[in-house]
Amino acid sequence: MGIEGRCRETLRRFNLKPNKNLGQNFLINEPVVKSIIDAANLKEDDTVLEIGSGTGIVTRELAARVQNVIACEFDRGLMTALQEELKEFSNIQYLQADILTVDTKSLIDRGKLKVVANLPYCITTPVITMLLETKGLISLIILMIQHEVAKRILSEAGTKEYGSFSIFVNYHSRVERVRHVSRGCFFPQPQVDSDVLRLYPLDTPPVSVLDELLFFQLSRAAFGQRRKTLRNALSPVLGEETGIVLQRAGINPSRRGETLSIEEFAVLANSFDLCNQKQEIISTDFTDYHR
């Protein structure tokens, strides 16, 4: 029986139906599963955190190759099915939980985790943010995500997809596109295609900044209203010093945020004299990167 048949049979046996509200679309394409496994560069002593284990198609392949798999699945019915379907494996730790509520540190006995995740659109941004903010615990991240989100992550300055989330992800990791995945590779078939990305969390970011919080605040402010010039977009953060900071950074105040590279945002942040800044800087919520 192929993996599509196994997926459907598991759902039938446990009287389960894909939950649209949870964004459940199960991978049923064997070449894509192989691409994910190959991309993870698995070693026998690895510990792999799988986010969104679904019907266990990828979980089974992971458990056959590594020392320990932590299968995280939010859906209680699917978790029951997983434990029954994969009972032959003694190296799987089952975690029925919302991954955003899990303390990643508690999952690590030694070394670093590898992460394999098939993410529904509704939690893609916060989960990626959470993983990269705990990057010291993770050596590699393999993501199956919606094609449009992948385009944002891979985009460059000057493109319409480029935004603050592009900067955030590429500051914290080196990103590679593994492959495109058509919508026909899932059951039920979603309305959009997906991509598999490989992220290498970086101990040393690609640019040096004096204040990371300010760096990300400036990038978010610059993209907050794309049609505004930098002078106007950054004024809520920099106040009266906006023009001086832009001049110090050698950046034309009439430019718009999407034209600045990550290197230019670093120069901009480093040009701001934090010691003399009196005003309260606006807060940053990394779970809302939709610009």
Tell me the pLDDT tens digit for each residue of 221-244: 999 888 899 999 999 998 888 999
- What is the Cα–Cα distance from 218 to 238, expressed in whole angstroms? 9
| 35 and 124 together in one domain | yes
CATH of the domain at 233: 1.10.8.100
SS3 call for 26 = strand
Both tokens of 169, joined, read: 């992800």
pLDDT at 291 over 70: no
pLDDT at 276 over 90: no
| 128 and 150 together in one domain | yes
Tell me the pLDDT band of 142, cut-offs 50, 70 and 90.
Answer: very high
Query: What percentage of the chain has pLDDT greater than the value 90?
Result: 81
DSSP calls for 222-277: HHHTTTS-HHHHSHHHHGGGHHHHHHHHT--TTS-GGG--HHHHHHHHHTS-GGG-
**Under 8 Å between Cβ of 217 and 281:** yes
Cβ neighbours, 10 Å, residue 17: 10
SS3 call for 112 = coil
| 118 and 249 together in one domain | no
Cα first-last separation, the chain: 44
- What is the Cα–Cα distance from 92 to 80, expressed in whole angstroms? 13
The b/e string for 96-124 (b: 16+ C-beta within 10 A; e otherwise) is: beebeebebeebeeeeebbbbbbbbeebb
Q: What is the pLDDT of residue 289?
A: 53
Ranking 150-164, 182-196, 200-214, 274-288 by mean pLDDT, the lowest is 274-288
Domain stop point among 176, 201, 226: 201
**pLDDT tens-digit series, residues 239-275:** 888 999 999 999 999 999 999 999 999 999 999 854 3
Residue in 224, 244, 240 with CA at minimum distance from that of residue 279: 240
The CA-atom distances, in angstroms, between 178 and each of 65, 141, 151 are 20, 12, 13
Q: What is the pLDDT of residue 213?
A: 93
**Under 8 Å between Cβ of 56 and 75:** no
- What is the Cα–Cα distance from 130 to 152, expressed in whole angstroms? 18
| Alpha carbon 139 to chain centroid, angstroms | 14
Tell me the pLDDT band of 53, cut-offs 50, 70 and 90.
Answer: very high
As beta bridge partners, residue 138 has: 113
Domain stop point among 201, 228, 257: 201
**pLDDT tens-digit series, residues 61-79:** 999 999 999 999 999 999 9
pLDDT at 201 over 80: yes
Q: What is the pLDDT of residue 1?
A: 75
| 131 and 171 together in one domain | yes
Q: What is the pLDDT of residue 288?
A: 52
Q: What is the pLDDT of residue 281?
A: 45
Whether 7 maps to a domain, the answer reads: yes
pLDDT at 93 over 90: yes
| 113 and 218 together in one domain | no
Residue in 199, 198, 184 with CA at minimum distance from that of residue 27: 184
Both tokens of 163, joined, read: 């935004």
Enclosing domain of residue 128: 3-201
Q: Is the dihedral of CA 33, 35, 36, 38 positive or negative?
A: positive
